[in-house]
Structure 1
Amino acid sequence: MENYSYIFQGTAFTSKSKKEIYILKDYLFCIDDQGIIKKVVAPDDPLYSSFIHEYEGKDNFHRLEKGQYILPGFVDLHVHAPQWAQSGTALDIPLNDWLHTYTFPLEAKYSDIHFAEKVYDDLVTKLLANGTTTALYFATIHKESSYLLAEICAKKGQRGLVGKVVADDPEQNPEYYRDQDSQTALAETEEFILAVKELAKTTKQGVYPVVTPRFIPSCSEEVLKGLGELAAKYDTHIQSHCSESDWEHNFVKERFGKNDAFALHDFGLLRDKSVMAHGNFLEEEDVELFAKTGTAIGHCPLSNAYFANAVIPIAHFSSKGVDIGLGTDISAGATPSLYDNAKQAVVSSRMLEDGVDATLPAEKRGTPNSRITINEAFYLATAGGGESLSLPIGRLEENYAWDVQIIDTEEEGNRLPIFDETEKLYDIFQKIMYLVKPVNIKEVWVQGEKVHGY
Structure 2
Amino acid sequence: MTEYMQIFLGTSFSSKSPKEIQILENHLYCINTDGMIEKIVSPEEPDYQTLLATYQGQDNFHRLAEGQYFLPGFIDLHVHAPQWAQSGTALDIPLYDWLNTYTFPLESKFSDLDFAKKVYDDVVDTLLANGTTTALYFATVHKEASLLLAQICADKGQRGLVGKVVMDDPQGNPEYYRDTDTDTALKDTEEFILAVKELAKSTKQGVYPVVTPRFIPSCTNEALQGLGDLSAKYDTHIQSHCSESDWAHGYVQERFQKNDAFALHDFGLLRDKSVMAHCNFLEEDDVELFAETGTAIAHCPISNAYFANSVIPIAHFHSKGVEIGLGSDISGGFSPSLFDNIRQAVMSSRMLEDGVNPSLPAQERGLLGSRIKIDEAFYLATAGGGKSLSLPIGRILEGYTWDVQIIDTQIPSARLPIFDGNEDLHDIFQKMMYLARPENIREVWVQGEKVHSR
Could you list the per-position Cα deviations for residues 96-129 of structure 1 after superposition, in whole angstroms to 9, with x for gaps in the alignment?
1111110000000000000000000000000000
Structure 2 Cα separation of the partners of residues 19 and 256 of structure 1: 38
In the TM superposition, residue 248 of structure 1 has moved relative to its aligned partner by: 1.0
Structure 1 Cα separation of the partners of residues 288 and 379 of structure 2: 22
Question: 2:332 maps to what in 1?
Answer: 332
Structure 1 letter corresponding to 2:392: P
In the TM superposition, residue 413 of structure 1 has moved relative to its aligned partner by: 1.5
Structure 2 Cα separation of the partners of residues 65 and 282 of structure 1: 46
In the TM superposition, residue 262 of structure 1 has moved relative to its aligned partner by: 0.3
Structure 2 letter corresponding to 1:200: A
Structure 2 Cα separation of the partners of residues 114 and 29 of structure 1: 41
In the TM superposition, residue 47 of structure 1 has moved relative to its aligned partner by: 1.2
Q: Secondary structure at the match of 2:10?
A: strand
Structure 2 Cα separation of the partners of residues 331 and 57 of structure 1: 45
Structure 2 Cα separation of the partners of residues 229 and 255 of structure 1: 22
Could you list the per-position Cα deviations for residues 171-214 of structure 1 after superposition, in whole angstroms to 9, with x for gaps in the alignment?
11000000011000000000000000000000000000000000
In the TM superposition, residue 93 of structure 1 has moved relative to its aligned partner by: 1.0
Could you list the per-position Cα deviations for residues 35-85 of structure 1 after superposition, in whole angstroms to 9, with x for gaps in the alignment?
000000011112111111111111111010000000000000000000000
Q: Secondary structure at the match of 2:303?
A: helix
**What is the CA RMSD across the aligned residues, in angstroms?**
0.4
Map residues 50-89 of structure 1 onto 2, 5 A cutoff: 50-89=50-89
Could you list the per-position Cα deviations for residues 147-175 of structure 1 after superposition, in whole angstroms to 9, with x for gaps in the alignment?
00000000000000000000011111000
Does residue 347 of structure 1 match 2:347? yes
Question: 1:277 maps to what in 2?
Answer: 277
Structure 2 Cα separation of the partners of residues 148 and 228 of structure 1: 24
In the TM superposition, residue 242 of structure 1 has moved relative to its aligned partner by: 0.4
Could you list the per-position Cα deviations for residues 204-259 of structure 1 after superposition, in whole angstroms to 9, with x for gaps in the alignment?
00000000000011000000000000000000000000000111111111111111
Question: 1:125 maps to what in 2?
Answer: 125
Question: 1:185 maps to what in 2?
Answer: 185
Structure 1 Cα separation of the partners of residues 180 and 213 of structure 2: 14
Does residue 257 of structure 1 match 2:257? yes
Could you list the per-position Cα deviations for residues 248-274 of structure 1 after superposition, in whole angstroms to 9, with x for gaps in the alignment?
111111111111000000000000000
Structure 2 letter corresponding to 1:16: K
Task: Structure 1 unaligned segments of length 5 or more: list them.
Answer: none
TM-score normalised by length of structure 2: 1.00
Structure 1 letter corresponding to 2:4: Y
Structure 1 Cα separation of the partners of residues 243 and 156 of structure 2: 34
Question: 1:371 maps to what in 2?
Answer: 371
Structure 1 letter corresponding to 2:115: F
Structure 2 Cα separation of the partners of residues 313 and 332 of structure 1: 19
Structure 2 Cα separation of the partners of residues 246 and 291 of structure 1: 23
In the TM superposition, residue 95 of structure 1 has moved relative to its aligned partner by: 1.1
Question: 1:392 maps to what in 2?
Answer: 392
Structure 2 Cα separation of the partners of residues 12 and 283 of structure 1: 38
Q: Which runs of 4+ in 1 moved over 4 A?
A: none
The total of aligned residue pairs comes to: 454
Structure 2 letter corresponding to 1:180: T
Question: 2:323 maps to what in 1?
Answer: 323
Structure 1 letter corresponding to 2:48: Y
Structure 2 Cα separation of the partners of residues 51 and 253 of structure 1: 61
Map residues 48-447 of structure 1 onto 2, 5 A cutoff: 48-447=48-447
Could you list the per-position Cα deviations for residues 281-336 of structure 1 after superposition, in whole angstroms to 9, with x for gaps in the alignment?
00000000000000000000000000000000000000000000000000000010
Structure 2 letter corresponding to 1:216: I
Question: 2:451 maps to what in 1?
Answer: 451
Map residues 24-39 of structure 1 onto 2, 5 A cutoff: 24-39=24-39
Q: Secondary structure at the match of 1:47?
A: helix
Q: Secondary structure at the match of 2:416?
A: coil
Q: Secondary structure at the match of 2:46?
A: coil
Structure 2 letter corresponding to 1:424: D
Structure 2 Cα separation of the partners of residues 54 and 111 of structure 1: 54
Structure 2 Cα separation of the partners of residues 96 and 4 of structure 1: 53
Q: Secondary structure at the match of 2:285?
A: helix
Structure 1 Cα separation of the partners of residues 265 and 357 of structure 2: 36
In the TM superposition, residue 430 of structure 1 has moved relative to its aligned partner by: 0.2
Structure 2 Cα separation of the partners of residues 73 and 94 of structure 1: 33
Structure 1 Cα separation of the partners of residues 214 and 181 of structure 2: 15
The sequence identity of aligned pairs, in percent, is: 74
Structure 2 letter corresponding to 1:122: D
Structure 2 Cα separation of the partners of residues 274 and 451 of structure 1: 28
Q: Secondary structure at the match of 2:17?
A: coil
Structure 2 Cα separation of the partners of residues 98 and 313 of structure 1: 25
Structure 1 Cα separation of the partners of residues 309 and 100 of structure 2: 19
Structure 1 Cα separation of the partners of residues 389 and 422 of structure 2: 38
Structure 2 Cα separation of the partners of residues 43 and 374 of structure 1: 28
Structure 2 Cα separation of the partners of residues 63 and 280 of structure 1: 43
Structure 2 Cα separation of the partners of residues 317 and 108 of structure 1: 36
Structure 2 Cα separation of the partners of residues 101 and 251 of structure 1: 19
Structure 1 Cα separation of the partners of residues 396 and 100 of structure 2: 43
Question: 2:3 maps to what in 1?
Answer: 3
In the TM superposition, residue 139 of structure 1 has moved relative to its aligned partner by: 0.1
